[in-house]
Amino acid sequence: MTRTRTPGISRRSTLALMGAGAMSVATPWVARAQAKTIKIGMPTILSGRVAQLGTSSRNAVMLEVDKVNAAGGLAGRPIEMVIRDSKGQPQEAARVARELVNTDGCEWLIDGEASSGSFAVHEVARDLGVLCVHTNSEASSLTADPKQHIPNAFRCVRQGIHDSIVGGSYAAAIAKAKGLKKWATCSPDYAYGRDTTGEFTLYLKRFAPDIEIISESWPKLFQPDYTEVVTKILQAKPQALYSCLWGGDLTSYIDQANIYAMFGQMEVFAVNMADYTALTVVKNLPKGIHSGNRYIKTYPATPENAAWGDAYKAKYNEYPTNWSWQNATAVMFLAEAAKKANSTDGKKIAEALAGLTIKCPFGADGTVTMRGDDHTLVGYAIGWGTTIPQEPYVPEVKAGDWKTIFELEAEWKKSKGYT
């Protein structure tokens, strides 16, 4: 066989082309001088299946930022948000976060990523030492695990473990009152679904030890057809069902289970039901589904919360989501910390944030706290109630007890080897 060379483009030309390409890449990346405005970068999910939640995060942030700017900004510097889509891919989230800091000159980050993306942005914060507030990742390990801890990162989000403790004790009380001993579970088959369900049943059994789980179903995330799951549960004949399906999965599940009249046959506990993205989409919302509060403007039942929900609706013509209040709270925290530190220096803000308590419409007692030792949000309104088919959807919510949450959370941390 003869060895031959291709007669096409020479390597020299190719390299020249690549060089020209590199130059054109470099031009827009000339670092800009620091302005008087403070830029805050925010990677979040603006395309794909959960785009609605990412958009609601952006809306909430802008709602609060406008207020802060109208009041004179952060320590005299107006905020400029730079919000970009990460497509929900961790490598894109990491890239976008780095670009926001290194190229766009953002001094802080609000990390609007969920799940794996938040861990990717966390590594960027660790690497660059930039102040970072996670606003959408509910994975408890993000702040509970001491290996994850860095002084410049905070989490302003509800947490899986808190939800499970409150849900477990609420469900156990109802189980005792109504004699519900046989339980089934139905949750999406990925880390969030498995962990949350495991923790919920752990606390359910702790508060009501004679409960038995007789059937477990693990539909795939984003599964379109739940017939198989519904019939499996109906055949097992449980007295109660727990589910942490969310968003579109939960609404299609309910629509399909309605055909089999499932909701008349058992008590249903769906932690993610009381969120407008699910409540307003279900065709026939059954009465009496037990749900945790994600976000509803009637809980906490304060004029501040109702006003905030209405202001959001007035501006964006839709109700806020669970992600919305978390992001709004993050901006409130940053504004208060800047006031306290009278500075926009990331380090000083981080010091001010640790242990900071602020007034907030979403607090259980009108305030929320950024706990000092693990940099995570506590004291937010958390409770369970039952649904009705029209507004206000969940008329009465039984509040969770933060004292119990703290005790059991400390125990849980110990059992995980985190403390």
Partner 1 sequence: MTELEAGRARTLLPVRGGAMLLRYRDVMIALIAFAVLASLPLFTGSKALLDFVIRCSAYGLFATSLNLLVGYTGLTSFGHGMFFGLGAYSFGLIMQKLSVPIPVAFVATLAITAVIAAGIGAICVRLKEIYFAFVTLAFQMLIHSTILSWASFTGGDQGLRGGIPRPAFFGVDLANHVHLYIASCALLVLGLLAMRQIAQSPFGYTLRMIRDNAARASFLGIDVWRAKLTVFVLAALFASMGGMVMALFVSGAYPEFAYWTISGEGIFINMLGGVSTFLGPMVGTVLLLLLNDTVTRFTEYHGIVLGVVILFFALGLRKGLLDFVADWFSHRRDAGEGR
Q: Which residues bind partner 1 (CB under 8 A)?
A: 1-9, 11, 13-15, 17-19, 21-22, 25-26, 28-31, 46-47, 51, 84-85, 87, 89-92, 94-96, 98-99, 102-103, 115-116, 119-120, 123, 126-127, 139, 141, 145, 147-148, 190-192, 194
Comparison of 148 and 369: residue with beta carbon closer to partner 1 = 148
Least spacing, CB of residue 121 vs partner 1, in Å: 10
157 burial via Cβ count (<10 Å: 0-12, 13-18, 19+): buried
Q: Which residues of 379-416 are buried (b: 16+ CB within 10 A; e: fewer)?
A: bbbbbbbbbbeeeebbeebbbbebeebeebbeebbeee
Least spacing, CB of residue 251 vs partner 1, in Å: 22
Comparison of 97 and 358: residue with beta carbon closer to partner 1 = 97
Least spacing, CB of residue 236 vs partner 1, in Å: 23
DSSP symbol at 363: B
Q: How many CB atoms lie within 10 A of CB 70?
A: 9
Comparison of 95 and 398: residue with beta carbon closer to partner 1 = 95
Q: How many CB atoms lie within 10 A of CB 178?
A: 11
Least spacing, CB of residue 143 vs partner 1, in Å: 12
CA 125/CA 164 separation, integer angstroms: 29
Comparison of 3 and 36: residue with beta carbon closer to partner 1 = 3
Both tokens of 216, joined, read 């477990």
Comparison of 128 and 234: residue with beta carbon closer to partner 1 = 128
Both tokens of 27, joined, read 């031009």
Comparison of 99 and 318: residue with beta carbon closer to partner 1 = 99
Least spacing, CB of residue 418 vs partner 1, in Å: 13
Least spacing, CB of residue 363 vs partner 1, in Å: 28
Comparison of 80 and 92: residue with beta carbon closer to partner 1 = 92
Q: SS3 breakdown of the chain: % helix, strand, coil, rounded to 5?
A: 45, 20, 35
Backbone angles phi, psi at 101, to 5 degrees: -80, -50
How far, in whole angstroms, is CA 338 from its chain's centroid?
Answer: 24
Interacting residues of 338 by C-beta distance below 8 A, sequence separation 6+: 74, 75, 344, 349, 352
Comparison of 118 and 164: residue with beta carbon closer to partner 1 = 118
Interacting residues of 349 by C-beta distance below 8 A, sequence separation 6+: 108, 131, 334, 337, 338, 341, 343
How many Cα atoms sit within 13 Å of 343 on the Cβ side? 10
Least spacing, CB of residue 189 vs partner 1, in Å: 8
Q: Which residues of 119-138 are buried (b: 16+ CB within 10 A; e: fewer)?
A: bbbbebbbeeebbbbbbbbb
Least spacing, CB of residue 330 vs partner 1, in Å: 21
Comparison of 194 and 340: residue with beta carbon closer to partner 1 = 194
Least spacing, CB of residue 102 vs partner 1, in Å: 4
